[in-house]
Structure 1
Amino acid sequence: MTDPLAALAAAVEVLPDDTALRLRYAGLLVDAGRLTDAIAQAAAVLQREPGNADAQALVRRAADAAGGADAGGAGTGDTERSATPGSPTTAPSSPSTPVTPATPAADDGIDWHALERDIGVVTPPPFVTEQGTSDDDPVPIAELRRETTRLADVGGLDGVKRRIEESFLQPMAHPDIARAFGKTLRGGLLLYGPPGCGKTFIARAIAGELGAHFLSVSLNGVLDKYIGESEKNVHRVFEQARAAAPAVLFFDEMDAIGGKRSAGQWSSFRNVVNQLLVEMDGVDARNDGLYVLAATNHPWDVDAALKRPGRFDRMVFVGPPDDVAREAVLRVHLRERPIEGIDLGALVRRTRGFSGADLQHLVTTAAEKAMAESIRTGTVRPIRMTDVRDALHEVRPSIGPWVQAARNVAEFANTSGEYDDLAAWLRTEKPRG
């Protein structure tokens, strides 16, 4: 009668790439007590398919079998390692981190530490402790994406776009000419203005113009309840951006992330600002290809050190959308809804001082009124100007409190001239605050 193990060994030698055949052979080797040979066969599978669950299960099964044997009864097949056709003489190496294995029988004849290290399959230990994340293997904090939005996609705001082109994009696109005129390419750009006016959208458009990856970081992506973790998060996100260069690293709510250290903040907040300064002040080439942008509604609350040369030394005011921008925003929000007889020109004139978010809220409110009547009648009817006029009685510009604070800053705290753009807008538009 043919020995099934010998027959399978011969078959494996003829068909070394047949995974199912090799695993069948390994299973019979475990049943026969030839544990070392069984693990060698499973290792051959894991060398080709590191995630093969059946091979990993066989390794653990062999480990359990060896652990259950007494000191002198590991089985005759394991007292000497026999050469088996088709088995590798050296198990594949793996870069996986060593994990403390479960303790097997003391005298089973197998070097379990070596096997677990070489094969990359471990027997889970009976007790584990929580381990923190190593700085050498950082967890990505921000989502990395490639932006296709361009400044041409930003409706209106021609003055803002021109300022961004002159102060940021053109020097980056022509570094040799910029250096000839003494224009530094270091530092970042701070976008500021009332809430809901498209600062984040403009930052995405800048990334698209530069052909760079875009990483957006908000307050909850940086701050951590444990001491020292917030600073580590700042370092990790800079490292993530440097690895993806060319990249635009965008910090939203900069007044919260980099607030004034003299404002009586907790030491952890002050340390975050210190870490930002360290990351932006690199004296080597670590920040080549890294463009740092930030947005804030309250630039006067950002730590002064972050606005010095080499850091966020260029500030651009992004005000409420002008006539052209309001028309573009209204068209976007009305585009996917049924409309009839909408006088867009009159609507643009009636919404002066509205932010982009206010315009969205206005269209949503008008749509709700048309929808309510449609539900009552059982027939869908489009949004009409009567709906929009009714909505205008309910929706008001939301930037009034911001305007009041901004006016105080422009009049009494603009000695350095950093808020000249804001002061000019207040004089020209005369918004109500």
Structure 2
Amino acid sequence: MLDQPTNTPTGPGAAESPLIASLRAAVAAAPQDIPLRLHLAELLLGAGSADAAVAEAALVLSQAPGDAQARALMARAMGAPVPTEQAPPAAPAEQQAGGFDWEAAAREVGDAVPPRFAAEPDVKEAPLTVDGSGAPGEAPAYDVDAPDAPGAVRLADVGGMQEVKDRLEAAFLAPMRNPELRKLYGKSLRGGLLLYGPPGCGKTFIARAVAGELGANFINVSINDVLDMWIGNSERNMHEVFETARRQAPCVIFLDELDALGAKRSRTQHNGMRNTVNQLLTELDGVNDVNDGVFVLAATNVPWDVDIALRRPGRLDRTLLVLPPDGPAREAILRYHLRERPIESVDLAKLVKATDGFSGADLAHVCESAAESALLDSARTGTVRMINTKDLLGAAKAIRPSTEPWFAAARNVAMFANEGGMYDELLAYLKKARKL
């Protein structure tokens, strides 16, 4: 949350009025009281302190991004024209529940903030087909998951991993949720986010949760969706992925296994792969703001194999290390995989402690192995029994965490190939976990 504004005069060299001073004290005592803060902002604006009014309105918008009164007040304080047309009708309940309503927000602020996801009027493009012909009546080229589709997730559905959530909020989500604050601070939306870490730790799940937080469509792109045996088709497929996302904006493109789609060109002998990486770089650049409303996330287990040009500012210039799940996350994952299985007297605290360093996939394997052990025992004895703590601890002891080989390889990279401090976060974790 933004820091509280300091007590400053309401005008150059002037002292605050007693009413404003008393309101400041009241707001300091109840910082979550939005109507009270808006009243203070109105008085500050009336007293000629536009900057202080903008700061108070910004704090309101950080708590309630859809507050129309705060948006209008900020527009007046910044000297922008305030729309006089009637406010649009409220969004349907299902749209409100699905995430932020970008179109309604764009209409609401009118001329104060230009619309981000404006579509060309009366222009409807037919969806691309599998062969790229665009002929009507055929299947679309790529599946686009809507934010309100069954199975859509939010960050609240991600168990634990609070540090990852906080980094996502600060570096990616907060600027996108608050267009007025973004404009005030000159924050650009260019660039994407690269998730890296051991396999099986939930990078794809986190990417889907980010799309859910933004209320955006979601396209999951793997190497099979892009690579083609015919010359030129791979580049065209890459272009069509981004074109589909631009038509479906706001949309999150998730590039899974980026090391396969964007491998280092210096190590690539095949011209087709080099051209595919070049095409990806061109699409990420988004010349003339054609990528407005398209957010790019990527994931890889081996970021050191990704072409360095993809990490340039304006492309995938932000990185986030996704580590094995912490204690609360392991407990949530274990509860999920045991929820429909017959269990009794399971000591989750002991199991969570015994699975330190396990990935989410490892934890699912532990539950599967414990269920298998109980099933075989029941089959041998002819008596059905429940899964207990002994089964789960025995499975955890027999399974070696799949993250260990990854950390063995990552250790050398973090220690001896940490150009530009890219792996500082990984190095800090290795020292803290005594893995160096």
Q: Where on the TM-score scale, by shorter chain, does this alignment land: which range?
A: 0.5 to 0.7
5+ residue gaps, structure 1, are 1-131
RMSD of aligned Cα (Å): 1.7
1:34-67 CA-partner distances (Å, limit 9, x unpaired): xxxxxxxxxxxxxxxxxxxxxxxxxxxxxxxxxx
Residue in structure 1 matched with residue 276 of structure 2 by the alignment: 272
Q: Which deviates the most, 133-142 or 227-236?
A: 133-142
State whether structure 2 residue 252 is matched by structure 1 residue 248. yes
> 1:171: Cα distance to partner?
1.0
Residue in structure 1 matched with residue 408 of structure 2 by the alignment: 404
Task: Read off the aligned partner of 1:249 and give its amino acid letter.
Answer: I
Task: Read off the aligned partner of 2:131 and give its amino acid letter.
Answer: T
Task: Read off the aligned partner of 2:259 and give its amino acid letter.
Answer: D
Task: Read off the aligned partner of 1:133 and give its amino acid letter.
Answer: D
Residue in structure 1 matched with residue 292 of structure 2 by the alignment: 288
Q: Within 5 Å, which residues of 2 pair with 1:379-390?
A: 379-390=383-394
State whether structure 2 residue 131 is matched by structure 1 residue 133. yes
Task: Read off the aligned partner of 1:210 and give its amino acid letter.
Answer: L
Paired residue for 2:380, among 376, 388, 398?
A: 376
Partners in 2 of 1:407 and 1:253 — Cα distance? 20
Partners in 2 of 1:362 and 1:192 — Cα distance? 24
Partners in 1 of 2:194 and 2:212 — Cα distance? 17
Partners in 1 of 2:132 and 2:144 — Cα distance? 21
Contact 1:194 1:402 in 2 (8 A): yes
5+ residue gaps, structure 2, are 1-129
State whether structure 2 residue 429 is matched by structure 1 residue 425. yes
> 1:181: Cα distance to partner?
3.2
> 1:135: Cα distance to partner?
5.0
State whether structure 2 residue 324 is matched by structure 1 residue 324. no
Partners in 2 of 1:139 and 1:418 — Cα distance? 41
Partners in 2 of 1:354 and 1:134 — Cα distance? 42
Q: Within 5 Å, which residues of 2 pair with 1:192-207?
A: 192-207=196-211
Partners in 1 of 2:426 and 2:180 — Cα distance? 32
Contact 1:186 1:311 in 2 (8 A): yes
Q: Within 5 Å, which residues of 2 pair with 1:61-80?
A: none
State whether structure 2 residue 142 is matched by structure 1 residue 142. yes
State whether structure 2 residue 338 is matched by structure 1 residue 340. no
Q: Within 5 Å, which residues of 2 pair with 1:13-412?
A: 133-134=131-132, 136-137=134-135, 140-147=140-147, 148-412=152-416
Identity %: 58
1:264-290 CA-partner distances (Å, limit 9, x unpaired): 331111111110111111222321111
1:50-97 CA-partner distances (Å, limit 9, x unpaired): xxxxxxxxxxxxxxxxxxxxxxxxxxxxxxxxxxxxxxxxxxxxxxxx
Partners in 2 of 1:150 and 1:224 — Cα distance? 34
Contact 1:353 1:431 in 2 (8 A): no
Contact 1:197 1:355 in 2 (8 A): yes
> 1:431: Cα distance to partner?
4.2
Contact 2:414 2:426 in 1 (8 A): yes
Partners in 1 of 2:184 and 2:139 — Cα distance? 40
Task: Read off the aligned partner of 2:182 and give its amino acid letter.
Answer: A
Contact 1:157 1:322 in 2 (8 A): yes
Task: Read off the aligned partner of 2:214 and give its amino acid letter.
Answer: L
The 3-state SS of whatever aligns with 2:288 is coil
> 1:136: Cα distance to partner?
5.0
> 1:392: Cα distance to partner?
2.3
Contact 2:268 2:274 in 1 (8 A): no
Task: Read off the aligned partner of 1:146 and give its amino acid letter.
Answer: A
Contact 2:264 2:305 in 1 (8 A): yes
Gap change, CA 1:344 and 1:431, over 3 Å in 2: farther
State whether structure 2 residue 407 is matched by structure 1 residue 415. no
The 3-state SS of whatever aligns with 2:173 is helix
Contact 1:191 1:295 in 2 (8 A): yes
Gap change, CA 1:134 and 1:328, over 3 Å in 2: closer
Contact 2:222 2:257 in 1 (8 A): yes
Partners in 1 of 2:373 and 2:299 — Cα distance? 35
Partners in 2 of 1:361 and 1:264 — Cα distance? 36
Partners in 2 of 1:391 and 1:431 — Cα distance? 24
Gap change, CA 1:162 and 1:416, over 3 Å in 2: same
Task: Read off the aligned partner of 2:348 and give its amino acid letter.
Answer: L
> 1:333: Cα distance to partner?
0.5
Task: Read off the aligned partner of 1:341 and give its amino acid letter.
Answer: S
Superposition TM-score, scaled by structure 1 size: 0.67
Gap change, CA 1:141 and 1:251, over 3 Å in 2: farther
